[in-house]
Amino acid sequence: MKRTLLLTLFTMIICTVNGTAADYFIEDGICYFPITGQNNSVEVGNQSLVAGSITSTPYAGKVVVPATVTHEMVTYNVVGVTYNAFFENKNVTSVELPNGILSIGQSAFYGCRNLTSVNLPSTLEYIAPFAFAYSGIKSAIIPEGVMTIYPHVFDSCDALEAISFPTTLKTIGEYGVFKCTKLSNLIIPSTVTSIGEYAFSGCTSLKSLDYYAANCGDFTNYTGSAHPFFNCPLEKVVFESTVTHLPAGLLYPSEGLKEIYSYISSPLTIGEDVFHSVDKPSCKLYVPENSVDLYKTAEVWKEFSNILAVSSSGIAEDSEDMISVAGSCGKIVIMGAPEGTEIRIYSINGIIVYTGTACEVPIDKTGLYVVKVGNVVKKIILR
């Protein structure tokens, strides 16, 4: 009911648009709306909004948005995508956005079921609620600079297989990545301080969580299915050394959790509700080899029957000939890895950009990457 009311409210707001033919222009099949008060700046939009309708414009196939557009001898900078620009368009398959795009409006790609790809440029700062909800996108790499995933941005994107958050991210709103049923692994950056209700609830393929958040707020006021990872079949959770606080209710419910890796050298003081539903007798807890005794005597942690040592997580070069790594066409390809081998890809500054088992991983930025395949470590330069 809450989700329905929110969407209805947003729809009421956007349907109050009034305008005339002079409020927009079309060049090369793309509709542009000049931004009031910003000279020579436009947003990609839907010309049918002028009539107060939210039916789609005839965009189809691959849509390439230019960085600038000239109309009647005036050149405009393209700085955004308006609300409902591609609303429920079933004909668009991909959209290429230029650098210079600052914002993507509310419901911009809502319901675009055949849309599989939208690149998010490095200049992007704002993604509005419902922007990609119910669309067919397969991956999303959120650029540095974005600080908030607003409510419902990726709600019910049932083709979404991978999402990468930036190190500038602070807030993941309610229903932000709700019911993305093909998403299998997730990395929460160290900068995240707030995760909303139902944020990842219903991601029924989500088995691996890599948690960096240093000091995220508790979930003690969340009830039942409102917990951010409710109905996620987590099997493996990694707490990185950046974590200074584990939120109450973080792993509720997680009866199927098999492994927890804590790279926190000194066990944190936590309450019972952090691991409330975890089967501690069967779930294995891996901790730094010099910290085993500390965990075995720490409250709550000591309730795990299997507390085992794990080597340092530092990256070390390994010359294993059977594994090879190649980079081309915006992706890293891993060859020779046994099926199901865990793969982690790090940027040169040590930030994890991917964790999972896929042997082809899309990467949108050039540079040096470190690829860890099981215990084998390789380096690759994407040009």
Per-residue pLDDT of 133-159, as tens digits, reads: 999 999 898 989 999 999 999 999 999
Specify the pLDDT at position 53. 54
Specify the pLDDT at position 45. 93
Specify the pLDDT at position 82. 95
Long-range contacts of 141-144 (CB under 8 A, 24+ apart): 141/362, 141/363, 141/364, 142/166, 142/169, 144/168
Q: Is the pLDDT of residue 214 over 60?
A: yes
Higher pLDDT: 20 or 363? It is 363
Quick one: DSSP state of residue 215?
A: B
> Please, which pLDDT band fits residue 17 given cuts at 50, 70 and 90?
very low
Specify the pLDDT at position 311. 57
280 token code pair: 């501690």
Per-residue pLDDT, averaged over 347-370, amounts to: 80
- Residues β-bridged to residue 117: 94
Residue 114 region, left (φ>0) first, then alpha (ψ -120 to 50), else beta? alpha
Report pLDDT digits (tens) over 42-89. 999 987 665 555 554 579 999 999 999 999 999 999 999 999 999 999
Quick one: DSSP state of residue 245?
A: B
Report pLDDT digits (tens) over 86-109. 999 999 999 999 999 999 999 999
- Residues β-bridged to residue 370: 346, 379
Question: For residues 267 and 108, what is the distance between their CA atoms, to the nearest angstrom?
Answer: 45
Q: Is the pLDDT of residue 351 over 80?
A: no
- Dihedral angle sign, alpha carbons of residues 145, 342, 286, 312: negative
> Please, which pLDDT band fits residue 113 given cuts at 50, 70 and 90?
very high
Per-residue pLDDT, averaged over 252-275, amounts to: 91
Long-range contacts of 302-309 (CB under 8 A, 24+ apart): 303/275, 304/260, 304/280, 305/280, 305/281, 306/282, 308/284
Specify the pLDDT at position 103. 98
Domains and CATH numbers, the chain: 2-243 (3.80.10.10), 324-382 (2.60.40)
